[in-house]
Structure 1
Amino acid sequence: MHFGPIPIKESIGAILAHTIRVDKNIYKKGHVLTKSDVKDLEDFGLTEIVGAVLENDDIAENMAAKNIADSISGNGIYAGSPFTGRCNLFSKKDGLFLGESNFINSINSVNETITVGTLPHCTAVSTDQMVATIKVIPFSSSKKIVDKCILTAKNTIQKLRVNKWSKLNISLIQSRLTGTKESVLDSTTASLECRLNKTYNSINSEIRCSHNIDEIRSSILSEVKKNQELIIIAGASAIVDRRDIIPSAIVAAGGTIEHFGMPVDPGNLLLLGSINDVKIIGLPGCARSPKLNGFDLVLNRILAGVNVGSNEIMSMGSGGLLIEIASRPMPRENKKHIEYKNEKNISNSGKKKIASIILAAGQSRRMGDKNKLLEYFNDKPIINHSIDSALLAKINPIHVITGYQEKEILAVATKNKDITFVHNPEYENGMSTSIKAGLRSLPEEIDAVLILLGDMPLVDVSIIERLITNFNPQAGQSIGVPVTKGKRGNPILWSKQYFQEIEKISGDVGAKHLIGEFSEGVYEIECDKSVITDIDTPENLRKINKNIL
């Protein structure tokens, strides 16, 4: 690949290295210059551009990224459409993401032009969640480098993959001392149920007994006879030695102690044993809490069918210091404060607060004397399709921005306690005024806003949910864009960090041009034509009602 200054007369087919603005036209970084582009740039007075010209052995960035993405994808993973030299990988199912560091390092070691970043090995993921991203750094990579990456992946037994959660028969044994409150045991049961429910499991059987070797031994044997596949023991006191009461009871029942202790904090005092083919976990005291701890790391592996033994546990030390993070249900530094909150607030802590703006202020000029939002599609006004999809996605708050024919819109629009109607008195000055009116009406504490167009009735709740599920600004996923066959559509999810930039837009335009300016924050989800299908004319409406769009 040739890179550097290129005379404007020789730049047809060149890839722009930097965005160029010419009057009202914007030629973005990565744009391939056409003959008419070059003429416009010449007319503007440019004599050269900085760009790249591919050579015979080069593979364009998008194709290179996609080829490598396909080669490293294993069971339970699919690749999205490549864009700007990047191809993201997503989970096909709920389960445990597996991506061994040795494999990732082998790909990243091929050449600096190819990079692969993933979630940590053994991360719990949900369907359509992004698990990895492949980025080609320059505008192309040589065929030799791409082929070497593909060969490296081909020679690897374990590629990136997602193991689906297994449904197991699970037993809980809780021991108690004199004076142990039943409420403490109830709380432990509830905490374990919450963990298991996330993996589509539940407690099949529970025994509460005295904290002594004989009773715990009898309880273990009783559960083994019930064909339980995993036994979890929560002792009245912490296990402090291999010869303590719980490990002694396991041995007395005919079982073995596979490992005691782990390099994870909280969770150091976890015990792993077995009897026949039944795994037994002796809980550390911290596992009574919903906070992330070493028990979660072992439990998730077992439920995903991943082998867990002494070697695997002792390899968890890197990353084993589980610092307080916002996603934990009850961070220590906030515990005193949270105790005074209601249960609903506690269960929602750590979740991103997403708001929605639905644009319903336009004048429908291309519809003649009709307001397109008041027309009917599938037995309800077009505007209500967007409102109802936002409601089904459980977005709160939802702000519907009105303007033209406000009274008529209010008369037919869906009403709900989570919906606020905001009038834009400047609607005649274009879409930008409605977007800005919507932003200014939102509460301060939101993390992001989904901007929906009121005239796109085919966008359903699943698209909205996928945009929200994959929203993760900390991982660089801060602008969510639906695409169909490479063409970007709506709605778009914007992180709060871009609100100031959106406030600068003007006229009858949205904020889509900002996607190019902040491309590093963009993540895309592949969708059908619904994300590019709007109702602008009577002909559009006729076609959509006849299902021929």
Structure 2
Amino acid sequence: MRFGAVPVCEAEGAILAHATMAGEKRLRKAHRLTAQDVRLLEEAGVREVIAAVLAPGDLDEDAAAARIAAALRVATVEARAPATGRVNLHAAEAGLFRVDKQIVDAVNRIDPAITLATLEPFAAVEAGQMVATVKIIPFAVPENLVVQVETACTAGEAFSVRPFVPRRIGLVQTVLPGVKPSVLDKTARITEARLARSASRVTAEVRPPHEEEGVARAIADQARDSDMVLVFGASAVCDEDDVIPAAIRRAGGKVSRVGMPVDPGNLLVIGSLGGKPVLGAPGCARSPKPNGFDWVLDRLMAGLEVTHEEVGAMGVGGLLVEIPTRPQPREVTPKRASPKVWAVLLAAGRSRRMGIGNKLMAEFDGKPLVRRVAEQVTGGGAAGVVVVLGHEAERVSAALSGLAVKEVQNPDFRSGLASSLKAGIHALPPSAAGALVVLGDMPEVTAEDFNRLLAAFSKAGGEAIVRATHGGKRGNPVILPRTLFAEVERLEGDTGARQIVESAPLEVVDVELGPAASLDVDTPEALHAAGGTLKAESSKSG
């Protein structure tokens, strides 16, 4: 592949590196030039373009990514269609992610132009969750490199999702004087929630005194009618002959390990009775926060054996988080501030489907629609609000008078939604950790809804995409983390954030907002049905 300046007369078949105007026609970035495109560029006086010219034997980025994804030997994983040189792979079922590091490393050593990234080994994943992504860096790569990748993939199964198998769980919670029933009730609820990811459930629970004989009898009883027994002790295990490991042996079972090199989770007991796993849970498992207990539980739920040696190898990466309730915390860390998210309100459109009039000026309860939406956004907890203006800019700006918003003009608004999104992103301060992208024609999204989206973004550490949904279907608004701002620059025409959401190798957190997430007012019928009134005014060019 040759990249650089290419005379237009020689550019047929080349791939544009940047969006280019050919008279009235806008040619998007990564567009492969046709003979007609070349003619339009010459007529517009364009003499050269920056482009990639494929050599014989080259594969374009999408074709290369698709071939590599197809070559990967995977199980219970599905590949999505290629886009912008990327193929994302998703779990077909909920389960535990397994990966062969040697195969992934072999692929990534072939050439920097070809990349394969995966989740960490043994990550618990949901059905539909992204587990890996293939990305081609340039516009094209030599086919012989793809052939080398295909050869590397024949070494074995690169990765897979081992599906969870629903289990019947017997729960034993030991009791000492002073143990509150409310603590035991909360532990049972948290355990049920922890089991939900594998569709397992607690089928029976007993609460014997914290002494060896009674606990042994409870374990034996639960093991008869369950697939697995979980034991929560009223007192932490401090020796391999303490109550819980001793009770497992007394019931006729075996104890393979007391203690694990994962913190929180050190005080885990691993045993079995009649071929069924028996786990003595550490105290931290009374909390929903991830800990070493989850690492062992998820492997067992996926039907994997957990050996003494495997647990002993969990120390690298086994330091998870500090427990705030420790009497002597090892390290005091300051509380991380919530990521600052700015809202980008898109209000530059021409309302072409509306016919006569600007839908953003339609009245809802006596207020212009754009003001109604802006008031909810400004009350929704964002660090600031940028409003992108274009069509009838002065009129829309007047409707926003008095609101604490920053207005920016998009002189290229006629080209479509992408240019407005870019203008809004460009106006954000360096401190913005994310952009809450809001459409100006969604009358029912409330300040409370915006707060819920922002809370989900904060909970995800400011590193996930957050998307509003209705009945499980994608909707708006959406929050894009700063790491995706560069991807906005690749958008062209009447394209919004959906393409980025579907192709980015990031977690997508869905927040159910109900009908508000899918209600926009693109037509007079939709506007009137939503309770709006569009006054008959002539549309200005803006």
- TM category (shorter chain) comes to 0.5 to 0.7
Deviation at 1:319, TM superposition (A): 2.0
Deviation at 1:59, TM superposition (A): 1.7
CA offset digits 1:492-516 (Å, max 9, x no partner): 73426499999x9xxxx97849989
Q: Contact between 2:338 and 2:458, CA under 8 Å: does it hold in 1?
A: no
Query: Aligned AA for 2:392?
Result: E
Query: Aligned AA for 1:309?
Result: T
Deviation at 1:236, TM superposition (A): 2.1
Q: CA–CA distance in 2 between the matches of 1:48 and 1:410?
A: 47
Residue 308 of structure 1 is aligned with which of 299, 306, 309? 306
Q: Contact between 2:103 and 2:155, CA under 8 Å: does it hold in 1?
A: no
| Counterpart in the other structure of 2:218 | 219
Aligned residues: 465
| Counterpart in the other structure of 1:89 | 89
Residue 287 of structure 1 is aligned with which of 279, 285, 288? 285
Q: Contact between 1:515 and 1:522, CA under 8 Å: does it hold in 2?
A: no
Q: CA–CA distance in 1 between the matches of 2:405 and 2:167?
A: 47
After TM superposition, list the pairs within 5 Å mapping 1:39-188 onto structure 2: 39-42=39-42, 47-72=47-72, 74-156=74-156, 158-188=157-187
Query: Aligned AA for 1:108?
Result: N
Q: CA–CA distance in 1 between the matches of 2:162 and 2:110?
A: 27
**Which residues of structure 2 form unaligned runs of 5+?**
324-328, 381-386, 408-430, 443-454, 509-519, 528-542
Query: Aligned AA for 2:188?
Result: T
| Counterpart in the other structure of 1:464 | none
Q: Contact between 2:14 and 2:32, CA under 8 Å: does it hold in 1?
A: yes
CA offset digits 1:53-97 (Å, max 9, x no partner): 223322211011112223326333222221111111122333333
- SS of corresponding position for 1:209: coil
Q: Contact between 1:265 and 1:321, CA under 8 Å: does it hold in 2?
A: yes
Deviation at 1:169, TM superposition (A): 0.9
Q: Does 1:428 align with 2:392?
A: yes
Deviation at 1:171, TM superposition (A): 1.3
Q: Contact between 2:85 and 2:137, CA under 8 Å: does it hold in 1?
A: yes
Change (3 A) 1:335 1:145: closer
Query: Aligned AA for 1:198?
Result: R
Q: Contact between 1:72 and 1:153, CA under 8 Å: does it hold in 2?
A: yes
Deviation at 1:2, TM superposition (A): 2.9
Greater alpha carbon shift after TM alignment, 198-207 vs 34-43: 34-43
Q: Contact between 1:251 and 1:257, CA under 8 Å: does it hold in 2?
A: yes
Q: CA–CA distance in 1 between the matches of 2:208 and 2:202?
A: 17
Q: Contact between 1:481 and 1:522, CA under 8 Å: does it hold in 2?
A: no
Superposition CA RMSD, Å: 5.5
Q: Contact between 1:431 and 1:510, CA under 8 Å: does it hold in 2?
A: no
**Which residues of structure 1 form unaligned runs of 5+?**
326-330, 338-348, 374-401, 456-467, 483-488, 526-533, 542-549
Q: CA–CA distance in 2 between the matches of 1:425 and 1:133?
A: 33
CA offset digits 1:288-340 (Å, max 9, x no partner): 22221100111112222233222332232232111369xxxxx9999999xxx
Change (3 A) 1:151 1:198: same
Change (3 A) 1:481 1:282: closer
Q: Does 1:298 align with 2:274?
A: no
Query: Aligned AA for 1:189?
Result: A
Q: Contact between 1:247 and 1:257, CA under 8 Å: does it hold in 2?
A: yes
Deviation at 1:159, TM superposition (A): 3.8
After TM superposition, list the pairs within 5 Å mapping 1:477-488 onto structure 2: 478=465
Q: Contact between 1:361 and 1:404, CA under 8 Å: does it hold in 2?
A: no
Q: CA–CA distance in 2 between the matches of 1:501 and 1:406?
A: 36
Change (3 A) 1:104 1:190: same
Query: Aligned AA for 2:218?
Result: S
Q: So what's the TM-score if we normalise by structure 2?
A: 0.67
- SS of corresponding position for 2:207: strand
Q: So what's the TM-score if we normalise by structure 1?
A: 0.67
CA offset digits 1:222-265 (Å, max 9, x no partner): 1122x211111111222233222211211111111122322211
Q: Contact between 1:439 and 1:499, CA under 8 Å: does it hold in 2?
A: no
Change (3 A) 1:333 1:359: farther
| Counterpart in the other structure of 1:404 | 362
